[in-house]
Structure 1
């Protein structure tokens, strides 16, 4: 999922620094003509919440953002650029390529490059998104021809440039020959604004010009793209069923699960899950891999912040799941088990629905997530008791305060109402004195109002419903409660 590989070439090393401080990262997004959504203007903040009735476009909006900011958006744009199918030109990039071909080395000031091109880059990515939304959403019937997505980075440009400066790259491309000194390298150190390219030996003469261009463009675009969100993990509503399946390959086709359809026939027909579900499978697959878990331990030793995410996974298990989620080595493959008490271990298919709901989040925090990555969670309240819904609201705020970004869709009045409590608590002059009022009793769950946006999707648009004082005005659920009470009162009158 994170590593790039080539059959003929060896590629190694690339990372994003964790040295940034947690900020109030903000992007303004305008979505037009997406299903029932005619026009929606959204401020994406560290914690973004989409609410509204069924069929109002919440999930489609969340998944469209995933299509733009996720690695699929970057990969699709990279290919389009190399094929000459983008609108935006990058003269600085062209000059660096020419210098590399002529002199064997080149450098790009990535701060200046991002300042000049970042906003146009992501706008160009968004412009191409409608062309692949049918494939992304695995549909032949939905129409995305009129979809428009516009983005504005102006209010958060300074923090964006800090992320560019904090990025580090150590990438090498070389011929697959033992003891070969022929290589092409890309180097950028954390805190350095310059991205260097240089060759060793005669590799530039032996590689096709297209391969060299692809190497250079990929490194530059990836720095830009990951400065928006380092990576995106999606938790679709299907997660509670699919966490019970042993994951053996990257993409799982629905006919393989439900019928005996021949794989070649399935591939020919092209029926697959939507990309957010495939992203979920990738996440679980990497969690299953022993080598990946071993590398994670090494990364934690180098980066203390990753250890904080492991502690959050432990906290989720102890305080909400009240048991542990762990792998146990079996004869054929590792098996994911839940241990509610010392002498009891249960397979995933037979655990409670709450464990199935939250186990993927445990795995993501423990084995995968890094600072400034985005978690898109569709209905985190699924299968949770109201008390657990309140707890998960506090826990998601803790994730944001630990440097992650979270976007959720929800129908839960408990989550939204309690979010208002958490924002009010963050304003209290003595947070420790009030923490016992809250379910998890952690001041880390108190979240600044500046980090939160809540949007009500209805009537073809999205409306910001956080009032200036921090209360949340959502009549869509309050009306239902009033209706139920009114019906009961009316029935009592009829009885009398």
Structure 2
């Protein structure tokens, strides 16, 4: 899918092709983070939004009680394409100001977006539904006794509600009362989760290094402030401007929505019931977390540990019998902690990660290793958007798109040259889009014949080398003058 941006910070007009791995490199204050956060916000809204009035135009049919069908036709494709387009257009004005916490009400006053969905993306989402076959409906009905089976017959999608208790009679129409007796809403929601991933996106903002130390304090302060503000608002009758001023005067902690969501992620991870990880039966995400610790943390392990009073805290096992608090760990371990927590306790296929500056506090070799781990994560089914300043990441990205996918044996041999020596770190070119922020626009670095043309980013290296010669020559001239 493609996203067009207009009047976003210093960016007048630009376009991005969002693929399973999307990488944006550029200088400071060039708009990279604005683009990443905007995509995060658009993704959230398009995944959540359902245009109920438009659903009536689709040809849902109830074949018998608990069984429905819908034709896979142009009308269905057009519904999802238009839905994304309309939702993107509405992501502006006060919605955008609130998302970015823009108290000036001017920074994004002219900003607008356009989202273009390829019909092929809709087709892939339909195929994903059919391949998964059975879906839990617990998010809708607060029970795991009901499931939904999806299949295809001829050019129709078939939906069959199922009960685990074969003898129990269920009035399926009553189940849909909270949805205005419309099972179509549930089905459309499942479509959109397949099209826009299985869960809401997770941001890992550049501020994560500091927040991993302070998220408990920030969460407590936000809760206290909320209660105090509620009491104040109950006792006064005032305008929204007055309420905003009140929040400012009370020292509200105001962050863009992605940063707030990151803090919520840390709090949720701590509060949720953490199942004990079986060392013998780890999933692929947990195994990847182990590999990151092995290759980037000198085998130091980052984990959540229960406290004596019933809470949890992040601990780092540095050697047998010695655990340290996260705030006493190295900056690189703090930087990687949120990703490791995500992999161990939250990751699932279909997620969407937005990572701002993954290279922070990492040695160049560790940056390359982390990129390999993230590429493996993409091959495990997680979509990733990166913003970076690192030429090392771009250089190694070009290595990772040059694997020989036509010959598995060659690909296996090529993987021996990788840091993690894992062939899953290779990505085909059609899964990657890379951009440089240049002259307030996104310039594609994808080259069908070469790979990723990262050499266009070498201007600074050349400039530094040139300065050496200028300084050296100027020094020699001064020495010659002294001798004369």
Normalised to the residue count of structure 1, the TM-score between the two structures is 0.77
**Partner Cα distance (1:285, 1:361) in 2:** 14
State the match for 1:235 in structure 2.
204
Asked whether the equivalents of residues 99 and 256 of structure 2 are also in contact (C-alpha less than 8 Å), the reply is yes
How do residues 110-149 of structure 1 correspond to structure 2 at under 5 angstroms? 111=72, 114-131=76-93, 132-141=95-104, 142-149=107-114
Do the aligned partners of residues 204 and 443 (structure 1) sit closer, same or farther apart at CA in structure 2, a change above 3 Å counting?
closer
Say which one has the larger Rg: 2
Per mean C-alpha deviation after superposition, the further-off stretch among 370-379 and 114-123 is: 114-123
State the match for 2:22 in structure 1.
48
Do the aligned partners of residues 478 and 173 (structure 1) sit closer, same or farther apart at CA in structure 2, a change above 3 Å counting?
closer
**Partner Cα distance (2:224, 2:37) in 1:** 23
Matching residue within 42, 56, 70 for 1:109: 70
Do the aligned partners of residues 59 and 215 (structure 1) sit closer, same or farther apart at CA in structure 2, a change above 3 Å counting?
farther
How many residue pairs get aligned? The number is 441
State the match for 1:454 in structure 2.
434
Aligned-pair distance for 1:239? 0.9
Asked whether the equivalents of residues 251 and 281 of structure 1 are also in contact (C-alpha less than 8 Å), the reply is no
State the match for 1:169 in structure 2.
135
State the match for 1:463 in structure 2.
443
Per mean C-alpha deviation after superposition, the further-off stretch among 268-277 and 135-144 is: 268-277
Q: Does 1:315 align with 2:326?
A: no
Aligned-pair distance for 1:434? 3.8
Q: Does 1:361 align with 2:329?
A: no
Aligned-pair distance for 1:297? 6.1
**Partner Cα distance (2:208, 2:469) in 1:** 40
How do residues 339-488 of structure 1 correspond to structure 2 at under 5 angstroms? 339-426=317-404, 430-474=410-454, 477-488=457-468
Q: Does 1:64 align with 2:46?
A: no
Matching residue within 449, 472, 476 for 1:492: 472
**Partner Cα distance (2:25, 2:432) in 1:** 13
Do the aligned partners of residues 331 and 163 (structure 1) sit closer, same or farther apart at CA in structure 2, a change above 3 Å counting?
same
Asked whether the equivalents of residues 60 and 69 of structure 2 are also in contact (C-alpha less than 8 Å), the reply is no
Aligned-pair distance for 1:465? 1.0
How do residues 294-313 of structure 1 correspond to structure 2 at under 5 angstroms? 294=275, 307-313=283-289
Deviation by residue 1:402-427 (Cα, 9 ceiling, x = unmatched):
22211100110000011111222446
**Partner Cα distance (2:220, 2:9) in 1:** 26
**Partner Cα distance (1:219, 1:386) in 2:** 46
Aligned-pair distance for 1:201? 7.3
**Partner Cα distance (2:175, 2:100) in 1:** 40
Per mean C-alpha deviation after superposition, the further-off stretch among 457-466 and 314-323 is: 457-466
- Unpaired runs of 5+ in structure 1? 1-26, 177-182
